[in-house]
Each structure stands twice: as structure tokens, then as C-alpha cells.
Chains A and B, each alone.
Chain A
Amino acid sequence: MASKPYNEMYLGDSEARHQYLRYAQWLKAQPAERLTQKRAEADALFHRVGITFAVYGQEEGAERLIPFDIVPRVVPREEWIRLESGLKQRVRALNAFIHDIYHDQQILKAGVIPSEQVLCNSQYRPEMQGVDVPGGIYAHIAGIDIVRDDAGEFRVLEDNLRVPSGVSYMLENRKMMMRLFPELFSAHRVAPVEHYPDVLLDNLRSVAPTGVADPTVVLLTAGAHNSAYFEHAFLAQQMGIELVEGQDLFVRDEAVFMRTTQGPQRVDVIYRRIDDDFLDPLVFRPESMLGVPGLLTAYRAGRITIANAIGTGVADDKSIYPYVPEMIRFYLGQPPIIGNVHTWMLRRKEDRDYVLAHLPELVVKEVHGAGGYGMLIGPAATKAEIDIFRKQIIATPDRYIAQPTLALSTCPTFADQGLAPRHIDLRPFVLSGRDVTIVPGGLTRVALREGSLVVNSSQGGGTKDTWVLES
């Protein structure tokens, strides 16, 4: 890596940044044994509460903890204010974009984005063409991945507009920190996040089909074996809504009902945590047992709200990502507040030539990949791995984008040898309904392996509590 990453806590070797002054003092005063004991306590508590995620491909019931690190990531107030307005701006533009491409397609007509990039995208859902959704909102819940580069600038790395997860860790990590270190919360004014479920429920109710006075909201899960099941159950419980599986719902006369002990009950809003492909076996994958036959008919008739809407995937695709700053200008007439990471689109010849000549320095990503899979990190890759990617890029350039290897900012983190800097990112959750709201904070993910830039939990990442300071 060419340049030195930005350290979130320290300015030089030991001088703490202003937002970390009190924390650094406190940290220095803590006996090592106390911290070790607190870490063990956190582990035991997470296990007992069952905050685990299922690991695919392992024996039934294999559940792992996502490692939790006790050093918080602290965001000063002024940085948060800027982040917040940048995130709201971005998500407004993304919603406007999705509405546009399923209606008049002005952005395509204006030539801002090449039509084939959108219309030939596998995530574009022709079934949604001309369908009006309440408030014109498609991405009701967006998880925007933010990184900080070596210059200390925040940048958007990725937009997650389908079924973004991780918010339960934001909430549980805070609860854990307050339980382990209550004294820290009297010394800092940390913006609360506990009300997220209320805000989410309010948001979901605000997008109910028109004319429904007291909407019934449910959370649709794939079931207890899904990797994010804990989060589904957690959110449903916190919102006080039913956690349903496809088999619990049915469609009659273009309306959706759930099977209850007191007979069928009408459902108005589905917060779904399964992908488009599985929602309705009559329209999408016929073999899907997770969805509800006829759901799309009810949806198109405007009798049910699905959040997020069907067809949002076209906007968070990595091949569309490079155009988001343009969308912001196009729909809002504003300059983007938070920039993208520079991205080469390998279907363009000049970009491709550059990238192929610089593969060992760059990160190459598959356009449809997610979760840190299908990715080449040049500086960490072997020559053989680079050659494989080179061949694949030449064969199917459309499938890839490339970005510079970012020196993601670091935060001190507990490792085997004690505290050491590890790379982190941030996923705030942006809710769109009647308004656009963001609970101050998000999920900070940390790459626990030394030098690693991959923060995904499936790839050995951990999490931290995220503090937005109120003063």
C-alpha cells in the first residue's frame, strides 16, 4: 500500500484526536486483566443471548459469533452532520433513479447512463415497469458502506439496497458496551441508537397502501436456518410485529393474509428479508419454497407494500455504482456531498487497458458479487490469482470493475498480542418513507486479520460499537 492509512484514534503515535481524548485517557488507565475479563464476558453474553449467525455448509446448527471488539469507533459530531446530509442526498437520488427507470427512463433518454447498462442488467425487473409504489419509495432501508481514505475523506464504497443486514449488531453492540463499560457513557455524550426499531416501524407504516388506516406490518424471513435469522427475529420482536415465513402467508382476491390461530388476518406491509428471486414462485424462481404464490399480483394491484420494493437491485449493482454521483446531479441538481471511490469500468477499453497493466496494485470486483466473494485484492494476491483474473477480465470485461486499493482507515482493536490498528468501514442505515431518517451511528466492521482489508463477517470480520458524539 502506497500511503499510510488514516488512524481514527491517534493523530501521531500517541496523541489522541479530539473525539478520542477522554477515551484514550480511560483506556490507558485500564488494567490489562480488566479488559481481558470484559472481552470474555462479552463473548459469554453473546453466546447466551444467541447473537449468532448460521454458517452455510457446516453441520446443522453450526452457529458462530461475529467477533465483537470492545474499542468503539468514535465519529465526531461535525463529521456526522456532513455524513448524514451526504447519505440522505445519495439515497434520495437512488430512489429517484429507481422510480425513473421503472417509469419514464429520463436518465437513459438524457444519455447520462447507457440504456443497456440498466435494461440488460440481470437485476432490472421488467415486471416493475409502470408499477407505482407508495411515495415513490423503493429502497426503504438502505445500508450504505462508507470508508475513509488515507486523506481522511469519507467515500461511499457500496450501496446496499436489497436486503441490507447488520443493524441488529449496531443495537446489540451498543447494549453490550453499556453493560460492560457504563462509566464510559457517563463520560461521553453518545447519541442513542436504541430507538431504531421504532423509527423503522414508523417508516414502514408510512408507506402502507393508501387508504389503510392502521396497517399491519410483518417481517418475512427465510427461516431459522438463514444466516441472518437472529436479526430477523430480533427486529420483529423489537417492533412487535409478526415474524412470518412464506408458508404463513397466502394471497386471496389480490390481498395478502397470514394464517393465525384466529383465522386469516390481512397484511398491509411486508418488510421482506429474502431476495426478489424467492418472493413469488409464480413469477420468479418456481422452485422457491420461501415465497408466497401470487404475491406479485397483489403487489401490482397496490394491495400490499413490499419493503424494499422489488427491483432495487439494479441500483446497487457495481456496474451502476460509478454513475451515482451523476444521478445526484441529474435528479437533485446538487453536487454530491460524499464522493465515490474512483472506479474503472472494464467494459470501457481505455479503463481496461489501464487496469490490466496495473492489476497488482488494484482491487477488482465482480459486478454482481457480494459479501467479499469474487474479489481480487492485487497487493495481497499471488501471481497465479492475478493471472486467473486477467483471463476472466479479458473474456468477460462487463462482469468487472476495478478500484484503487484503498488504505481504509484503522482503529485500535484487540488482537492476540494486544491492541493493534485494524482496518474498518462503516454501514449507516438510511430509512426512507414519509421522510428520510438516519439513526446516528451504524455498524462498524473491522478486518481482524493484520493488514486485511476485507471486513465481511463471512471472511473473518468483526464489529465494533459506533459512537456518534453529540458534543
Chain B
Amino acid sequence: MLSRTADHLYWMSRYVERAESLARLVDAHYRMSLLPHAPDTLQLSLRSTMTALHMEEAYKQRHDAIEPRTVFEFVSLDRDYAGSIFSCLRAARENARAVRGSLTSELWETLNSTWLDARALITRRAPSPDIGHFVEWVKERSHLTRGVTIGTMMRDEAFHFTRIGTFLERADSTARILTAHQSDLVPGAGASQVPDPYQWSVLLRALSAFEVYRRVYRDVITPSKVAQLLILRDDMPRSLLRCCKEVYHNLRSVKNEHSAETERRAGEMHAMLHFTRMEEIISAGLPRFLEQFLARLHDLSDRIASDFLLPPAEA
């Protein structure tokens, strides 16, 4: 398939996944804001999350204090900020529109109507949209998009590039959310000596892992088990291991004559996560581990771009 087509498909699914990840984060914090809590707990979590997602600077240019309601609206609806959920939905649709011929019409119509509805919602004068409903809706649309992708697309290159985009983005998102909460994951390493139940719920909910945790461990929530779940569990859909496994397998299905090294590196990341024990990660330092992971992920996406998506001229 055309490299440019693959590029649009890849970014289309990255943006959908990113919108969902952001919606999950907003949703988790929004729920927290509705419960009785120490105000600085919420603030602290919002701040570290925005830092991990590189959103702080853009936020500061537009707003003064970190105030939950303002942050929620900024992350969800700000149409001028390229990193907002709204902008992600627009970017997903723009990428889809550029290759609508390579999508099934069901998939295109899903993405297009998501965008049309989001735009109608945001251009409506009053009342301003309810954030809780909005993020809930974004998650549903993302589920629907993924379902339509899996349910209607042929298992060809187009599908594999779509999946690579999804799982690279998801790995990135999980790693960043873990980064934002790393102080809670390593006992004694950060500000909160005693694990804060609110923080846990944010972290786990943001990764759809709250119920999974209960089912898997049937135990009180402990930092190392949370980390174990989100990094090393193969059966946890948003864990780093699971995402890397999916990237690796989809990458193998689209290999070309230049991509051997990229495939090797993806395989190496997968193997590393597959065979590492949690104790090793903790003793080497979780922050360092996450930092390295993100760097390798970044390298991998660069390599995918140059091998497949934007090959140099006259390759």
C-alpha cells in the first residue's frame, strides 16, 4: 500500500487512542473531584499528570492556577490546543478523510460522525457540555471505532498499520500515566509515604484496571502489584508488555526489506518485558525504567516512520 496511506492510518488510530487515554484520565480525576478529598491530592495528581503528558506549558499560557474544572475543560474541549481530546478527534477524522478509500465505509462513517457530533457539541453556545458525559461519550466512540475496525477491516496491511498506531500510542500513554504516579508506586520513594487510595483509584481507573486488579489479586492494593499489573501482565490489555507484544506481532506482518532492524528492536522490547521480574525493575529504579522505556518507544516509532510511512525519496 501507499506509504502515505499507511501513515494516515497509523496516525488516525493513534489519535483515536490518544483521545481515549485523555478521556480516561479526565474521567478518573473528574470522579475524584466529586468525592470528598483533600484538595491538594487532586491538584497534585493533575499537575503531575499534565507534566508527564507535556501539557503544562500550553496550559499555563492560557490559564493561571491549576483548577480542576479549568483543567478538565482545557484537556477535553480546547479547540485551539492541538493536544486536547477535541483536537485529537479532529485529527483522527482528518487523517481518515485523507484515506477514506482505504477504510471500510462503516469505519469512515463512525469517525466522521464522531467528529461531527463533537463539533456540534462544542460550537453550541450554551449550556457548556457536561465533562463527565463528554469523556464517557469519547470512550464509547473510541470503543465503537475499535470495534468497527476489528469487525469490518480486512486483515491486511491497512489493518496492521492501524493496530501498530493504536498500541504504540497506548504503550506511550500507559508509560506516561505510570510516570505521573511513579512516586506512589515505589514505597518510600516520593512524597506520599502511605499509598493514597485516591491516587490508586485514579491510576487504576485511568487504565481500566480497577476491576481487573481486584479479580487478579483478590487482595488489598499494593504498589508493586499495581506496577506488576500495568507493566508486566500479558493478559492486561493496557499493560506495557501487552502493547509491545501487539506492536511486535503487527510489525512482523508488514515487514519489508528495510525493516529487519526495527523488527528486531520491537522484539527485543517485547522480550525484555516478557522476561523481566518486577523486583529487577524496582531495584534498578522505576523512574529510570520508565524513562528508558519511553525513549525506546520513541526510537521505535521513528524507525517505523522511516521504514514504512515516510520512506526517503528514491528509496
Residues of A within 8 A of B (CB): 47-50, 61, 223-224, 229, 233-234, 236-237, 242-245, 247-248, 250, 252, 258-264
Contacts and interface: CB of A to CB of B under 8 A. Distances in A.
A259 B100 contact: no
A224 B257 contact: no
A261 B101 contact: no
Given A50-B109, A224-B98, 4 more contacts: A61-B94, A237-B100, A248-B4, A263-B311
B311 A233 contact: no
A242 B313 contact: no
B234 interface: no
A237 B311 CA distance: 24
B100 A50 contact: yes
Contacts of B315: 259, 263-264
B100 A233 contact: yes
Nearest to A219: B101
Q: Do most interface residues of chain A lie in helix, strand or loop, or is the interface mixed?
A: mixed
A263 B101 contact: no
A261 B156 CA distance: 12
B112 A245 contact: no
B105 interface: yes
A50 B3 contact: no
B116 interface: yes
A223 B98 contact: yes
Given A224-B94, A236-B101, A259 B311 contact: yes
Contacts of B3: 248, 259-261
Contacts of A248: 2-4
Contact of B2 (A48, A49, A61, A244): A244
Nearest to B111: A50
A261 B314 contact: no
B3 to A, nearest CB: 5
A261 B109 contact: no
B88 interface: no
Nearest to B258: A263
Contacts of B46: none
Contacts of B257: 263
B102 to A, nearest CB: 8
Contact of B6 (A223, A237, A243, A261): A261
Q: Which among B6, B97, B113, B308 has the highest number of chain A CB atoms within 10 Å? A: B97
A242 to B, nearest CB: 5
A260 B2 contact: yes
Contacts of A242: 1-2, 5
Contacts of A262: 256
Contacts of A258: 2
